[in-house]
Structure 1
Amino acid sequence: MNIKVVIPARYGSSRLPGKPLLKINGVEVVNHVVQRCIEAGVAHSDIFVASDDGRILEVIDNTKSMAIMTDSKHQSGTDRLCEVAEKEGWSEDTLVINVQGDEPMIPPDLISNLISFAGSNPQFHICTAVTSVTSLDEFNNPNVVKAILGEDGRALYFTRSASPFNRDVPGDIEMANRHIGIYSYRVSALKCFCSYEESQLEKYEKLEQLRALSRGMAIGAFVYEGNIPHGVDTMEDFEKVKELMELEK
């Protein structure tokens, strides 16, 4: 199986500009993400950092990953992935993993488990991961995206609402799953997805994956049992992650 990892790393975040370049233990956030991918067993020649800013690409160690300049007009990281796949001429059946560039503590086994799941389930156009919701606060939080799964691991829906809701036992969260923002696509599915316009449900919930479901694409998800550390969205997030990683050094 031909596998590529693409790490979209945008400089112009509205909440924390330049966050891929912030350093933890002397290493940039984006290079920590690259290292996690290597620890997942991905060859350095198959890891690509895709950015729209030369300041980010300049810090990429080309002995560990490839740096690719992409269009600054992309609306999402998925569009950036598609550009990389087209520039590199990857075959239609190449499996592309989208690993966020602001998650320096992403568990390597989350990446490797997604690769295994996607390889074993070619019936899904897109694959992703979920983890169990552990509290009612989490269940009711609209910033926590819930994934509704069918019996075969097929994702039926993604929502910010408290779902699935047990009518008879309202406080029951046994079937509630939290979506983890990591994806895999075959190049053919990636190109198809990026050719679609934003769907009404996507606009409504502000969830990009609903574009795929609205068009009939099949999304599969596995349940990840490990801990999911927080990514870096704000300076407060960065300080927390930095403290944790410095303690682990």
Structure 2
Amino acid sequence: MTFTVLVPARLASTRLPNKPLADIAGLPMIVRVAQRAAQSSARAVVVAADHANIVAACSAHGIRAVLTRSDHATGSDRLAEACALLGLDGDDAVVNVQGDEPLIEPALIDACAALLESRSDCVMSTAAHAIGSPAEFDNPNVVKVVCDAAGRALYFSRAPIPWWRDGRMSGTTQLPSPAPLRHIGLYGYRAGFLRRFPMLEAAPLERIESLEQLRVLWHGERIAVHVAAHAPGPGVDTPEDLARVRAIFAAT
């Protein structure tokens, strides 16, 4: 299994300014993410940055980075440019690790890459885990996924899916069985598809749900889903998230 990890990093963030450079136990967050990803089986880990300050921070700590355009609409667009800069194409495997996941599990990265390699019927792979609470199930900030019998994504939504008709009509607060799945924002791609993705027309469902992966399904492509045994460590979106992750690092 041979694959490259790409980590998109954007300096601007409305909820946490300069997020990639936020200090976590003495290192910028983007460096923490890359170091964690380097513990996987990836042949290379490369940060796809939108600002020279991110590239400089990576270089100072021995992390490879490429400077991409600052006007990309999505992380996938940024990764497509990074693939071109790195000469990745065709069946070259790429795993997209988000730049705000300093606690990402290396084994989960490997599982996503291995699933892509084993599923020639799918252009992408991703991950999910069982939801454990009704509040999480109902939270629109928690993305859910439902799969077919072959483990391929049927749909992603911010709504609570699958909708338990009889249970909800009876007023229960319990979760349906089997447990619904929370999507984990980790993606494996074949580089040829990743470079083609930005040229695909945006899907109406993608705009409604604000979920970019729905474009893949809307165009008739398939996404394989790895179901992890447990939830990954917390990501960083807000100052509160950053404080939580800093506390975890301080305790280790």
TM-score bracket, shorter-length normalisation:
over 0.9
**After the TM superposition, which residues 196-215 of structure 1 pair with which residues of structure 2 at under 5 Å, given as runs?**
196-215=200-219
Alignment correspondent of 1:128: 126
**After the TM superposition, which residues 101-116 of structure 1 pair with which residues of structure 2 at under 5 Å, given as runs?**
101-116=99-114
Alignment correspondent of 2:145: 147
Residue 139 of structure 1: CA displacement?
A: 0.8
Do 1:93 and 1:188's aligned partners in 2 also have CA atoms closer than 8 Å? yes
Do 2:116 and 2:123's aligned partners in 1 also have CA atoms closer than 8 Å? no
2:209 & 2:231 partners in 1: Cα distance? 26
Q: Deviations over 1:137-176 (max 9, x none)?
A: 1111111111011111110000011110222333333331
Alignment correspondent of 1:174: 177
Q: What letter is aligned with 2:64?
A: M
TM-score under structure 1 normalisation? 0.94
Tell me the percent identity: 39
Q: Deviations over 1:15-41 (max 9, x none)?
A: 111111111111111111111111112
Gap regions ≥5 residues in structure 1: none
Q: Deviations over 1:50-71 (max 9, x none)?
A: 1111111101147753210000
Q: What letter is aligned with 2:190?
A: R
**Does 1:218 pair with 2:222?**
yes
2:230 & 2:51 partners in 1: Cα distance? 33
Q: Deviations over 1:84-114 (max 9, x none)?
A: 1112221311011110011111111111111
Alignment correspondent of 2:32: 32
Query: Which consecutive aligned stretches of 4+ in structure 1 deviate over 6 angstroms post-superposition?
Result: none
Alignment correspondent of 1:233: 237
Residue 227 of structure 1: CA displacement?
A: 3.0
Do 1:139 and 1:173's aligned partners in 2 also have CA atoms closer than 8 Å? no
Gap regions ≥5 residues in structure 2: 169-173
Aligned-residue RMSD, C-alpha: 1.4
Alignment correspondent of 2:17: 17
TM-score under structure 2 normalisation? 0.93
Residue 226 of structure 1: CA displacement?
A: 2.9
| Count of residues in Structure 1 that have an aligned counterpart in Structure 2 | 246
**Does 1:247 pair with 2:244?**
no
Alignment correspondent of 2:116: 118
Q: What letter is aligned with 1:245?
A: F
1:149 & 1:233 partners in 2: Cα distance? 27
SS of aligned partner of 1:179: strand
Q: What letter is aligned with 1:168?
A: D
Alignment correspondent of 2:171: none
Q: What letter is aligned with 1:160?
A: R
Do 1:133 and 1:173's aligned partners in 2 also have CA atoms closer than 8 Å? no
Q: What letter is aligned with 2:66?
A: I
Change (3 A) 1:62 1:40: farther
Do 2:167 and 2:176's aligned partners in 1 also have CA atoms closer than 8 Å? no
Q: Which moved more, 1:15-24 or 1:127-136?
A: 15-24
Do 1:34 and 1:64's aligned partners in 2 also have CA atoms closer than 8 Å? no
Residue 3 of structure 1: CA displacement?
A: 1.1
Q: What letter is aligned with 1:133?
A: I
